[in-house]
Amino acid sequence: MKTYHIKTYGCQMNYSDSERMETYLQALGLSPCKDYKTADLIIFNTCSIRQKAEDRVFSEIYKVEQLKKKKKDLLVVVTGCMIRKSSSRYSTERDALFPRMAALDIALRIDELPSLASLMREIQPALDIEAIEEESLEDYFQINASHSSHEAKTQAFVAISNGCDKFCTYCIVPYSRGREKSRKMEDIIAECEKLVEIGVKEITLIGQTVNSYGLGKADEESGKFANLKEKEPFVALLEKLDLLHEKGLERVRFTSPHPQDMSDQLIEAMAVLKTQMPYLHLPVQSGDNRTLKRMNRTYTIEQYREIIKKLRAKIPDISISTDIIVGFCGETDEEFEKTLKFYEEMAFEHAYIAQYSQRRGTTADRFMKDDIPQKVKKQRWHKLNFLLVKMAERGYKRFLNKTVNVLVENQNGKTCMGRSEHFKAVQFNSGRKLLGQIVPVKITRAREILLEGELV
């Protein structure tokens, strides 16, 4: 039997896509292989969000090039966000990557996954793989994720949409993943039901702008969600998932939402649904209106502030984290200072801070100047990170001497690790087998990125 090895980079969406690929490859009769050196097929599921992410992929592919010199029939596939269009080594429409990667046989855009088998046969006609009917797969979302990486079977990621219509000027995603398309609600529910049946307690819904589920242009045109007149599709989905609480689903999280679609309906749902948690990751990107405008973020800081105010009014102890880009085109010292101030004002408890990295083909690349020197980007990153650490500490300390509910995701001997409802990592000891259970833990110590406590 032929074997495959998948190397995954980037965000949860890519990890979820890799699980979809596993299902597909196993249906072709291939089996997984832990060591890439012995696999017959190596797949790189790439990320393109920053130059660093691409560089990492290129250096790994270089190693495989060396391997391929010895192993002539090794098949190398590159997919994920570095690919704009599917093609094989023999296609006339060669992707720009081919000249840069001698080892590459197939470039595959992830939503074209159903055509992988035929591309593989094009390269190796004698390849012994099962036949799969491409036409039977309307879109790649119909291939279910294998969920093989959730060995503990306590928590799982479920993709609900792919692509993005927002076109932030710095971002590659609308180009790499294409237009936003939502998965059918019945399919999502069916997948979640199965997960709950095998004991999954926490489900994280994922999408590029997860809360615009069902609102993208393509979804509107298809009329897929026309029956939901008053209710937003995302809220309807959260309500349906909440019904699975009776069957054992305890927690539903989602990432990443976009501020534009943080409606009152959604905030209300977060406050009242049993499976909703007091935690939200809501990317703001900058605390300055002019910068937000240049980024084509479709809200002002006043509107963002209003959302947070409403959330805190309904869910008083909610924990909020964010994403911020420093050193975007034209960002002045004054604009950056506003981001620092806003960060403090919003009392974010965590953030992913990125230094702006120009991406080929984006609006910022075509019409703006990447004019902030590397040194300044770095300085701003450190300055904001300093604040982040200070604020994060405060976010952890507020749980000292309190009892929090922890979903145990990992148990090594007596050491149990899990997350609280507020998404804080918690560690404690227990002689009992607690994997997959939600247990009360009294917090006795707040470390920099960890809470420690005792089972109550």
**Binding footprint of ligand F3S on the chain (CB under 6 A):** 10-11, 13-14, 47-49, 80-81, 172-173, 176-177
Would you state the structure tokens that stand for residue 173, as one six-digit string? 């995603």
Query: Whole-angstrom Cα distance, residue 141 to residue 178?
Result: 14
Identify what 354 binds: ligand SF4, ligand SAH, ligand F3S, none; CB under 5 to 8 Å per kind: ligand SAH
Nearer residue to ligand SAH within complex by CB, 22 or 335 = 335
Query: Interface with ligand SF4 by CB under 6 A: which range of 137-145, 168-176, 412-420, 428-436?
Result: 168-176
Which of ligand SF4, ligand F3S, ligand SAH, none does residue 48 bind to, with CB < 5 to 8 Å depending on kind?
Answer: ligand F3S
Which residues form the interface with ligand SAH (CB under 6 A)? 49-50, 170-171, 208-209, 256, 258, 283, 285, 323, 325, 354, 356-357, 359
Answer yes or no whether residue 167 interacts with ligand SF4 by CB under 6 A: yes
Shortest approach of ligand SAH to residue 48 CB, angstroms? 9
Of the listed pieces 161-169, 328-336, 400-408, 438-446, which binds ligand SF4 according to CB under 6 A?
Answer: 161-169
Whose CA is closest to 12, among 155, 113, 157?
Answer: 157
Of 155 and 208, the one with the shorter C-beta distance to ligand SAH is 208
Comparing C-alpha atoms, which of 421, 168, 418, 406 is closest to residue 318?
Answer: 421
Contact between 209 and ligand SF4 (CB under 6 A)? Answer: yes
Provide the token pair at 415.
């050491």
Q: How far is the CB of 315 from ligand F3S (least distance, A)?
A: 28
Q: Two tokens at 75? A: 């098949």
Our finding on whether 174 is near ligand SF4 (CB under 6 A) is yes
Residue 405, φ and ψ in degrees, nearest 5: -90, 125
**Contact present, 268 and 244 (Cβ < 8 Å):** no
CA atoms of 416 and 12, how far apart (whole Å): 24
Q: Considering beta carbons, is residue 17 or 40 the nearer one to ligand SF4?
A: 17
CA dist., res. 441 & res. 429, Å (int): 10
Nearest Cα residue to 244 out of 318, 311, 191: 191
Rounded distance between C-alpha atoms, residue 160 and residue 187, angstroms? 9
Closest approach of Cβ 339 to ligand SF4, in Å? 16
**Which one-letter DSSP state was computed for residue 331?**
-
Q: With contacts defined by CB under 6 A, how many residues of the chain interact with ligand SF4?
A: 10
C-alpha atoms less than 13 angstroms from C-alpha of 105 in its C-beta half-sphere:
21
| Encoded tokens for 11 | 């965000």
- Please choose which of ligand SAH, ligand SF4, ligand F3S, none residue 174 contacts, taking the beta carbon within 5 to 8 angstroms, the exact cut-off set by kind: ligand SF4
Backbone angles phi, psi at 431, to 5 degrees: -85, -15
Interface characters, 243-262, with ligand SF4 (x: CB under 6 A): ---------------x----
CB nearer to ligand SF4: pick between 361 and 440 = 361
Residue from 116, 168, 270, 324 in contact with ligand SF4 (CB under 6 A): 168
Residue 50's binding partner among ligand F3S, ligand SAH, ligand SF4, none (Cβ under 5 to 8 angstroms by kind) is: ligand SAH
Pairing relationship of beta strands 41-46 and 3-8 according to DSSP bridges: parallel
